[in-house]
Amino acid sequence: MGRRAARELYVELVTRVSVVPLRQDEGLLREALSSLYSLFGTTRGTLRRHGPEIAEPKQDGQYNFGYLAVAMLNYGVRPLLARRHPALEDREHRRPVDRSRRDHESARPRSDRLRTALRDTRQLLTAYADLLATACAASPTSSKPSPLANERQSRTAPLPLCPLGPVGC
């Protein structure tokens, strides 16, 4: 896996709401979703900058960077955004001008469900961040072993929520 590419994406993940908890009393859900959405552009840029070498199959059975990056987007981030982003946007358009964004968002009946969905997505993205940390020799995001750590040793174990299975041989 390209160490520099892994480091770039690792830094993006660990400095965003993707792996940093968003407490009930802080932040806006819109900003959290926008931060996750921006991972698409960042990841695409990293993939383009580092070229096809980061997508070559690995001889040792580990996932290559290209596969991990695309799986993270398509199976970690996209399901949340595809479902929640449009609904939140529709609600935002109905905000009265005299109501703050925070008040309007907190009055949203489904805001707790969106925060739960963000938490669940964060757990999966933390596992990806931990794999990237291993690849670039950085500190993992948590002291707990990543649920993906043993899977990258296996040639046949699929990533969670990823029907494509691992790449590498």
Q: Tell whether pTM > 0.75.
A: no
Q: Mark 31-57 as b/e (b = at least 16 C-beta within 10 Å).
A: ebbebbeebeebbeebbeebeeebbee
* Cβ(142)–Cβ(14) below 8 Å: no
Mean predicted confidence (pLDDT) in 37-52 = 92
Query: Position of tokens 């935002």?
Result: 92
More confidently predicted of 57 and 127: 127
Mean pLDDT, the chain, integer: 75
